[in-house]
Amino acid sequence: MKFALYAAVLMAISVPAMAGGPIIYNNGGPNQQNGNEMSNWLQAEDFILGQGLNVITDVHFWTIEAPGMGFNGKLDYSFYQDAGGAPGAFVVGGPAVGTTHVFTGNVVLGYYNEFEMEFNLQAPLALTAGARYWLGLHANGSYNNRDEIYWESTNYNGTFTGHEDYQGLGSWADNGVEHAFYLTGVPEPGVTALLGGLVLTGFGLIRRRK
């Protein structure tokens, strides 16, 4: 019975209704100046959460894409620990859930179309404040083709610049660009309250069944 209750709690945390919560990290908006290709490369950008233990549910970012090529609907994400200013040990990742890909109406650098993208994680991710992590993004599934999809840049903000891994082979290099993205989710007190309410509800159901 306890196992079933814990499973119900975890499933309740994973529901899309929690998507699009408060911003718990903001690396900056797009500046329409640059970007790094993310179909032939795996791109990553660092972040540090500052509100105690936080749960990430969604990722929001921007791309610039060549006309006639671009996004095929497949997007993979990954989170890494920090290893001296570069992505280190893998934490979690997988296919993005509920990805949206919306043209902003802007043409960047006289050629590329700008898109705003967002997606849900497969399951909410709890990370600790004060520790550096890296968000990795890869588009279009295969590393075999360069589809001219670029994770758009933002203004330099004092954090590490992005790193890239050619064809996902595990060899990271600094690409010198800061990338536009922000994370939404649930601050730790909200998660605690949610868990408490779900557990009490579960116990109420158990008592009624008895």
Q: Which residues face 25 on adjacent strands?
A: 183
- pLDDT tens profile 30-45: 999 999 999 999 999 9
Both tokens of 135, joined, read 């968000």
H/E segment holding residue 149: strand 149-152
Average pLDDT, the chain: 84
Spell out the alpha helix ranges (H) of the chain.
2-13, 188-209
Buried b / exposed e across 145-160, counting CB within 10 Å, b at 16+? Answer: eebbbbbbbbeeeeeb
In the predicted model, is pLDDT for residue 46 greater than 50? yes
End-to-end CA distance of the chain: 12
pLDDT of residue 52: 67
Contact (Cβ atoms closer than 8 angstroms) between residue 166 and residue 40: yes
- pLDDT tens profile 142-171: 999 999 999 999 999 999 999 999 999 999
* Largest pairwise CA distance in the chain: 68
In the predicted model, is pLDDT for residue 191 greater than 90? no
Report the side by side order of strands in the sheet with 41-48. 87-95, 75-82, 132-139, 41-48, 163-166, 172-174
- pLDDT tens profile 61-116: 999 999 998 899 999 999 999 999 999 999 999 999 999 999 999 999 999 999 99
pTM: 0.81
In this prediction, residue 50 has a pLDDT band, given cuts at 50, 70 and 90, of confident
State the average pLDDT over residues 21-31: 95
Domain residue spans of the chain: 19-187
Beta-carbon contacts of residue 150 (< 8 Å; ≥ 6 apart): 34, 35, 36, 37, 38, 63, 64, 65, 112
Distances (CA, A) of 130 to 3, 45, 178, 191: 32, 16, 20, 19
User: What are the φ and ψ backbone dihedral angles of 10, each rounded to 5 degrees?
Assistant: -65, -40
Interatomic CA distance for residues 73 and 100, integer angstroms: 9
Interatomic CA distance for residues 173 and 155, integer angstroms: 20
